[in-house]
């Protein structure tokens, strides 16, 4: 049978998660997605009404089939962690079993196991603020939503991942180099994610024969990136300064993800793989 993938962080057809889902589907994988609870309704409605049909097209002409959409809020591990105001919030009360532990239980009940785990989500409420103006709460929320969410997902999914499987996340160069504008502790969150990639690769490798890598992606005008506010400038900067002066497509990240989780990458784990037209290699560009 084909491989089964769970992709956390798909809520429209613009982001990296969607492109990764498509690349995995094109390679024959069965696609399950985890969608942030507040975005679930509109995503499912749009899917049902065919709004994504054009972008569901795979190279062979068929449409990507998303076998199941799970509501997910990756900042909560189990129901005990959910504050009252969130529980009673209309958008959350309309769905159930969306904490990490419950989602994994649902996937286990529905399908038994998975082969591939993709983490394509981030959130930093103060991302537009410089680090010098970031509150403790904003910083910790960025880490919780963007870094620990990955630790938690892998922790809970590992027991139902088939040996030989693989996991990836998405990171950004602001973890290693100062990128003014990527604030609110998001640069710190990506640094944590990259460090955790190495430690989790060791632990999940030894414990479950699972490989763990992260893709450091170039700028893409996704919904999340538009909320940061400077994405058009970053795309332009990359175009002007990168070794490859071309637009960087989400599909290029999707294809790399498909390679990294496939047996073609069977000796690659704990790595940061750059998919950014080479921008990370530059010191100054003239
Ligand atoms: P996106 O908006 O498509 O994806 C982010 C997703 O995270 C959204 O679907 C959102 O609903 C979800 N999300 C937010 N908080 C969540 C939570 N608590 N629980 C579950 N889901 C939650 O945007 P994207 O830019 O494709 O982001 C995907 C990944 O790529 C992120 O890790 C991002 O940091 C990374 N990345 C993006 C860029 C870029 O320029 N867009 C560059 C490098 C890395």
Q: Give the position, in ligand 1's atom list, of the atom nearest the Cα of 225.
A: 41
Average confidence (pLDDT) over 263-273: 98
Using pLDDT thresholds of 50, 70 and 90, give the confidence band for residue 61. very high
Q: How far is it, in rounded angstroms, from Cα 140 to Cα 188?
A: 10
Say whether pLDDT at 147 is over 90. yes
CA dihedral defined by 254, 258, 259, 262, rounded to 10 degrees? 170
Does the beta carbon of 225 sit less than 6 angstroms from any atom of ligand 1? yes
- CA dist 160 and 208 (Å) reads 10
Q: How confident is the model at residue 280 (pLDDT cuts 50, 70, 90)?
A: very high
pLDDT at 4 over 80: yes
Hey, whose CA ends up nearest to atom 26 of ligand 1?
15
Assess whether 237 carries a catalytic annotation: no
Please indicate whether residue 215, judged by its CB atom, sits closer than 6 Å to ligand 1.
Answer: no
Q: What is the mean pLDDT of residues 257-261?
A: 98
Mean pLDDT of the chain: 97
Residue 110 φ/ψ, nearest 5 degrees:
-75, -40
pLDDT at position 285 over 90: no
Active site residue 182: yes
Give me the interface pTM, i.e. the ipTM.
0.99
Residues 17-32: tens digit of each pLDDT = 999 999 999 999 999 9
What per-residue confidence (pLDDT) applies to 85?
96
Q: What is the mean pLDDT of residues 30-58?
A: 98
Q: How far is the CA of 150 from the centre of ligand 1 (A)?
A: 12
* Ligand 1 neighbour 179 (Cβ under 6 A): no
Portion of the chain with pLDDT greater than 90, in percent: 97
* pLDDT 10s digits, 71-110: 999 999 999 999 999 999 999 999 999 999 999 999 999 9
Distance CA 37, CA 199 (A): 29
Looking at residue 70, its pLDDT comes to 98
- Judge contact between 93 and 67, C-beta under 8 A: no
Residue 229's pLDDT is what?
86
Contact between residue 156 and residue 133 where contact means Cβ atoms under 8 Å apart: no
Give Cα separations from 181 to 126, 218, 225, 231, 234 (angstroms).
Answer: 11, 15, 11, 10, 10
Point out the ligand 1 atom lying closest to the alpha carbon of residue 38. Answer: 11
Ligand 1 atom 40: residue of nearest CA: 219
Bridge-partner residues for 170, per DSSP?
Answer: 215
Q: Which of 70, 148, 172, 274 is flagged as catalytic?
A: 172
Counting residues of the chain whose pLDDT is more than 70, the rounded percentage is 100
pLDDT at residue 1, as a whole number: 73
Length of the chain: 286
Name the 3-class secondary structure at 263: helix
What confidence category does residue 286 fall into, taking pLDDT thresholds of 50, 70 and 90? Answer: confident
Q: Has residue 218 got a pLDDT over 80?
A: yes
Q: What is the pLDDT of residue 167?
A: 98
At residue 172, φ and ψ (nearest 5 deg) are -145, 145
């Amino acid at each position: 049978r084909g491989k089964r993938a769970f992709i956390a962080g798909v809520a429209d057809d613009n982001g990296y998660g969607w492109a990764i889902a498509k690349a995995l589907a094109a390679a024959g994988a069965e696609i399950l997605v985890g969608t942030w609870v507040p975005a679930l309704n509109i995503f499912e409605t749009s899917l049902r009404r065919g709004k994504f049909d054009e972008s569901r097209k795979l190279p062979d002409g068929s449409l990507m089939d998303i076998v199941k959409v799970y509501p997910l809020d990756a900042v909560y591990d189990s129901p005990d962690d959910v504050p009252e105001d969130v529980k009673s919030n209309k958008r959350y009360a309309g769905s159930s079993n969306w904490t990490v532990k419950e989602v994994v239980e649902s996937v286990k009940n529905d399908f038994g196991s998975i082969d591939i785990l993709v983490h394509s989500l981030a959130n930093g409420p103060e991302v537009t603020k410089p680090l010098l103006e970031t509150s403790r709460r904003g910083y910790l929320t960025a880490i919780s939503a963007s870094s620990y969410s990955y630790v938690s997902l892998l922790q809970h999914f590992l027991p139902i991942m088939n040996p030989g499987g693989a996991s990836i996340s998405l990171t950004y160069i602001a973890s290693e180099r100062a990128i003014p504008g990527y604030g609110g502790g998001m640069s710190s969150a990506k640094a944590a994610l990259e460090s955790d990639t190495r430690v989790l690769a060791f632990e999940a490798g030894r414990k479950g024969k699972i490989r763990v890598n992260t893709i450091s992606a170039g700028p893409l005008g996704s919904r999340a990136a538009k909320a940061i506010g400077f994405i058009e400038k970053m795309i332009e900067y990359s175009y002007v300064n990168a070794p490859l002066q071309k637009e960087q497509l989400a599909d290029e990240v999707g294809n790399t993800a498909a390679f990294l989780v496939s047996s073609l990458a069977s000796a690659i784990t704990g790595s940061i793989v750059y998919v950014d037209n080479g921008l990370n290699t530059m010191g100054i560009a003239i």
